[in-house]
């Protein structure tokens, strides 16, 4: 019988994870079955317990359960502790190990797939919610010159700055104060693109040869990537690479083998009609 894995979320029907993990399994010859499970909003823990009873060996966790998954874990990896959220569960005999592969996925997409070294670069992170928090430590591990966090609600950016101040050169700011500053990498970790909105960043923030990265994706460029293109950002990237890389990192954790991500990124890009 195949080893059983799942993604648990609400909603979850749109999730690309079953498709991605099926491709990984075929490519690496691993015998797994991976399904999507819709958990009731007030029934995450019960859903996990039932899945484990059915023989589940591990799970990905998506919106809105990443904090509950963190609380449910009996052990956490360092990066899950730093992220304060869990997107990958490993069911062990006596423990539930909680990990977070989102930040590692983002950084791997930027550094390996896009070939963009982060060391010494000026990085702007827009947003201070769960998505932003998860990527701070993995980015700082690459020792950028500065990591500036901008958020609409300034206090949340300040809180993250304090939380990570001992891990690198982290600055928090309001969007308006970005005027006159330039960055080599601008990451949109806000949920603005989900609503077709643009974060209120000023013009002129993209340095020559800069990379604009939107953690969201869709058909065509997101509003942020359109803005970045108009503003002369040298390179544009959406979140498809991150999506596949975070999945590969989970797969590696579960199966001990690292799948090739490039063909899966290409397959998703063409099926989504993304640029
Ligand atoms: P996630 O888990 O995706 O990070 P979240 O924790 O709700 O979701 O955080 C959403 C982030 O997107 C926040 O930083 C939010 O800014 P506020 O803290 O000021 O609410 C940001 N955000 C959402 N819509 C935005 C918009 N139109 N412009 C700027 N920032 C936006």
Distance 27 CA to ligand 1 centre (A): 36
For the stretch 146-165, pLDDT in tens is 999 999 999 999 999 999 99
Tell me what the mean pLDDT of segment 80-98 comes to.
96
Q: Is the CA virtual torsion 30, 35, 41, 43 positive or negative?
A: negative
How many other C-beta atoms can be found within 10 angstroms of the C-beta atom of residue 260? 12
Q: Give yes or no for residue 223 CB within 6 A of ligand 1.
A: no
Q: Is 66 one of the catalytic residues? A: yes
Q: How many CA atoms lie within 13 A of 182 on its CB side?
A: 10
> Is the overall model pTM greater than 0.85, yes or no?
yes
Distance 130 CA to ligand 1 centre (A): 9
Q: Give yes or no for residue 257 CB within 6 A of ligand 1.
A: no
For the stretch 218-229, pLDDT in tens is 888 999 999 999
For the stretch 94-150, pLDDT in tens is 999 999 999 999 999 999 999 999 999 999 999 999 999 999 999 999 999 999 999
Strand partners, 172: 149
* 3-state SS, residue 218: coil
Write down all domains in the chain, each with its CATH number in brackets: 3-100+241-272 (3.40.50.10860), 103-237 (3.40.50.720)
């Amino acid at each position: 019988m195949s080893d059983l894995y799942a993604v648990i979320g609400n909603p979850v029907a749109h999730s690309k994870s079953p498709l991605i993990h099926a491709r990984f399994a075929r490519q690496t010859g691993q015998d797994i079955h991976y399904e999507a499970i819709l958990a009731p909003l007030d029934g995450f823990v019960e859903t996990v317990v039932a899945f484990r009873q059915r023989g589940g060996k591990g799970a990905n966790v998506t919106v809105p359960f990443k904090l509950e998954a963190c609380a449910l874990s009996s052990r956490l990896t360092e990066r899950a502790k730093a992220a304060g959220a869990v997107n990958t569960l490993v069911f062990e005999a006596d423990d539930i190990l909680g990990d977070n592969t989102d930040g590692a996925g983002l950084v791997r997409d930027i550094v390996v797939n896009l070939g963009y070294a982060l060391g010494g670069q000026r990085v702007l992170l827009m947003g201070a919610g769960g998505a932003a928090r998860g990527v701070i430590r993995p980015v700082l591990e690459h020792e950028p010159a500065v990591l500036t966090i901008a958020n609409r609600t300034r206090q949340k950016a300040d809180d993250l700055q304090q939380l990570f101040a001992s891990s690198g050169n982290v600055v928090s700011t309001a969007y308006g104060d970005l005027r006159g500053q330039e960055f080599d990498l601008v990451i949109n970790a806000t949920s603005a693109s989900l609503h077709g909105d643009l974060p209120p960043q000023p013009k002129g923030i993209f340095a020559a040869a800069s990379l604009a990265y939107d953690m969201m994706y869709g058909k065509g460029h997101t509003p942020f990537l359109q803005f970045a293109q108009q503003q002369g950002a040298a390179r544009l990237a959406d979140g498809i690479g991150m999506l596949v890389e975070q999945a590969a990192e989970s797969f590696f954790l579960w199966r001990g083998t690292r799948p090739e991500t490039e063909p899966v990124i290409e397959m998703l890009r063409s099926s989504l009609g993304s640029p």
